Structure 1
Amino acid sequence: MLDVLTNDILPVFSMLALGFLLGRAGKVHRAEATAVNRIAFLVLQPALIFPLVNGLDWSAFRLDAIALYACCQAILFASAFFVAYRLLRRDMVEAWLLAMATIFVNTLLYIWPISFLIYGEKAATAVTGIVAWDATVTFAFFIVTTDLLVNRASSPMQSLRRVAANPVLIAIALGVLGNVATLPTPAPVLTAMEFAGAGAAPLTLFALGVILSGHSLMPTPTVITISSLKLLVFPALVWAALQVGQRPEDWNSLLLLCAAGPSGAMAFSLGVLHGVRTDQLAPVIIWTSTLSLFSLAFLA
């Protein structure tokens, strides 16, 4: 457990911690981190997502396990949104992103690199399956719905133009199209994307740390509730769902590892991108990132 924590988990977590410390020390400012976050979101993440989606071997995945995981996401998201919006009285878009934080784990930027360090590419197939699901379906859903909620006054045509021009959605669509149609991607293009995509995770985590450093970490009722739903309820829900049916044990353990991960940085990135209030979302990211270190080390 200690080896996994020090050798595989903390090195990935260190970029978030470094950004947080430099932000608190005043060495890097929020405006700079916001610009970095925007570049990472709109430029580097598409370069990371396209090769992932384009090169997926869907036959290697246990779709029954991914479907159970997705059902757990839907159930908890609906419950968390009701709690945040109705009981905790948060603004609708803020409640939407807080609910997203309970089910959208930082799989692409956090769990995926950790699982590859620990298990290698072949052993981390289950994690790749969840990364593929979250990157193509869950993330796209939240990009579109958050944009529509923020711009409720826009006409349908304006909304369509905005959504259709989103680089992340374009990368997802092209990746799926290329995969389904088995269209070859030129090697120089893949090399360029691999080069650019390698910077997506560290830059996003670093920028996130800087931006988070300007927020209070006080565990308010909202922070405690959302963090508890993420760290306790979601893994328990996934564990219970995975008792249905038979599959290789490594799929169950690795999907549980995904569920136990911290709240995804993308909920916060979407909030920053759209100017949504993040003073409650920020501590959720910090607390879940910190408290999940030991549970991840134990489960891994």
Structure 2
Amino acid sequence: MLTVLTHDILPVFAMLALGFALGRVNYVTRAEAMVLNRVAFLVLQPALILPLIARLDWSGFSAPALAGYAGAQVGLFILTYILLRRVFKRERLEAWLLSMAVIFVNTLLYIWPIAQLIYGPDAVLPVTGIVAWDSAVSFTFFIITTDLIAGRPEGAPPAARRLATNPVLIAIALGACLNILGATLPDPVFTALDFSGRAAAPLTLFALGIILSGHSLRLSPTIATVTLLKLAAFPALVWLTMSALQPPGDWAPLVTLTAAGPSGAMAFALALLHGVKTDSIAPVIVWTSALTLFSLALLA
């Protein structure tokens, strides 16, 4: 456990922690971090996502395991949203994104590289499956629904045009088309995408740490509840689902490991994009990122 923590998990977490520390002392400003985050989101993440989806071999995935994971996401998302709206009286879009933070794990930028360090790139098919699901389906769903719920800002183009020009959605759609058609891109293009995509995780985590450093980490009832649901309820629900489905090989432990990861940074990024209050979402990202250090090491 200690070796996994020090050699595989902490090196990845270090970029988030470094950004947080430098942001606290104002060595790197929030404005600079916003520029870094924009570059990572609009340029580097599409470069990471497109070849991932284009090269997927869906035949190796366990459909029951992926369906069980998706079912756990849907069920807990609905329950969390109802709780936040009726009990905590949060605004609709804030409740939507806080509920997303409970069930949308930082798989692409955090769990996937950690799992590859621990098990090797050839032994993390279940984690890759969840990364593919979250990148191609869950993230697309939340990009579209958040945009529609937020409505059209003054002077902004219609929703259809905004969504059609979103680089992440374009990368997802192009990767899916290439995969379905069995087509490919020239090798130099994939080389360029792979080279660029490797910078997405460290740069995003670094920029996120800087931006998060400007928020109070004081626990409120809402923050504590959402954090607890993410840290305990979601992985427990996924574990129960995997126990019932009994998927083959290492699918059950690795899917459970994935569910135990911290809240995905995309909920925070979408909140920033649409002007949603981040005083609850930001601390959830920080607390879940810090508190999963030892749980991930234990499960791995």
* Smaller-chain TM-score bracket: over 0.9
Please give the alpha-carbon distance, in whole angstroms, between the structure 1 residues aligned to 2:79 and 2:32: 36
Instruction: Report what 2:3 is aligned to.
Output: 3
Percent identical: 61
Instruction: Report what 1:23 is aligned to.
Output: 23
Instruction: Report what 1:297 is aligned to.
Output: 297
State the secondary structure of the residue aligned to 2:286: helix
> Any conservation in 2 of the 1:38–1:273 contact (CA below 8 Å)?
no
Q: TM-score, normalised by structure 2?
A: 0.97
> Any conservation in 2 of the 1:42–1:167 contact (CA below 8 Å)?
yes
Q: What is the correspondence of 1:97-136 to structure 2 with a 5 Å cutoff? A: 97-136=97-136
> Any conservation in 2 of the 1:80–1:99 contact (CA below 8 Å)?
yes
Please give the alpha-carbon distance, in whole angstroms, between the structure 1 residues aligned to 2:281 and 2:134: 20
Q: What is the correspondence of 1:205-224 to structure 2 with a 5 Å cutoff? A: 205-224=205-224
> Any conservation in 2 of the 1:112–1:131 contact (CA below 8 Å)?
yes
| Shift of residue 248, structure 1, vs aligned partner | 2.5
> Any conservation in 2 of the 1:4–1:297 contact (CA below 8 Å)?
yes
> Any conservation in 2 of the 1:34–1:272 contact (CA below 8 Å)?
no
Q: What is the correspondence of 1:181-196 to structure 2 with a 5 Å cutoff? A: 181-196=181-196
* AA aligned opposite 1:265: A
> Any conservation in 1 of the 2:18–2:206 contact (CA below 8 Å)?
yes
Instruction: Report what 1:151 is aligned to.
Output: 151
Q: Deviations over 1:162-188 (max 9, x none)?
A: 111100000000000000001121111
User: Unaligned 5+ residue runs, structure 1?
Assistant: none
Q: TM-score, normalised by structure 1?
A: 0.97
User: Unaligned 5+ residue runs, structure 2?
Assistant: none
Q: Deviations over 1:169-216 (max 9, x none)?
A: 000000000000011211111111111111111111011100110000
The Cα RMSD (Å) is: 1.3
Please give the alpha-carbon distance, in whole angstroms, between the structure 1 residues aligned to 2:35 and 2:122: 36
When the two structures are aligned, how many residues end up with a matched partner?
299
> Any conservation in 1 of the 2:24–2:213 contact (CA below 8 Å)?
yes
| Shift of residue 152, structure 1, vs aligned partner | 5.2
Please give the alpha-carbon distance, in whole angstroms, between the structure 2 residues aligned to 1:197 and 1:245: 34
Q: What is the correspondence of 1:115-264 to structure 2 with a 5 Å cutoff? A: 115-151=115-151, 158-264=158-264
Please give the alpha-carbon distance, in whole angstroms, between the structure 1 residues aligned to 2:95 and 2:134: 20
Please give the alpha-carbon distance, in whole angstroms, between the structure 2 residues aligned to 1:242 and 1:193: 34
| Shift of residue 131, structure 1, vs aligned partner | 0.2
Please give the alpha-carbon distance, in whole angstroms, between the structure 1 residues aligned to 2:219 and 2:245: 38
> Any conservation in 1 of the 2:93–2:276 contact (CA below 8 Å)?
yes
Please give the alpha-carbon distance, in whole angstroms, between the structure 1 residues aligned to 2:134 and 2:204: 17
Q: What is the correspondence of 1:81-100 to structure 2 with a 5 Å cutoff? A: 81-100=81-100
Please give the alpha-carbon distance, in whole angstroms, between the structure 2 residues aligned to 1:246 and 1:257: 15
